[in-house]
Amino acid sequence: MNQQSQQGEFNLDISRTTAITCSSCGHNVFQHAFFLRKVSKFISPEGVDRLLPLDTMICAKCGNVNPEFNPLPEKFNDNE
């Protein structure tokens, strides 16, 4: 895949971007992951129990979720 294909339809100079690294170990490779939340039928628009997937990225080396990737407000983060 050439650089133009990876950049999509717009012209982007990748050298002008900022690398993101893991806030825990400094690694720079991430994997797609989900937080899952259970939605009770009592608050679900459809009236049935549901799972709500929330996208995030985790460090491929240590599994850390950087704070800026956490879609949950701090008081709802059950992971800590």
Phi, psi (5° rounding) for residue 69? -95, -10
Tell whether the model's pLDDT for residue 79 goes beyond 60. no
Per domain, the residue ranges of the chain are 3-73
Mean per-residue pLDDT, 28-41: 96
Q: Is the pTM of this model over 0.85?
A: no
Q: How far apart are CA 51 and CA 49, in angstroms?
A: 7
Q: How confident is the model at residue 2 (pLDDT cuts 50, 70, 90)?
A: low
Position 25 scores a pLDDT of 97
Buried b (16+ CB within 10 A) or exposed e, 29-43: ebeeeebeeeeeeee
Q: How far apart are CA 57 and CA 66, in angstroms?
A: 8
Tell whether the model's pLDDT for residue 40 goes beyond 80. yes
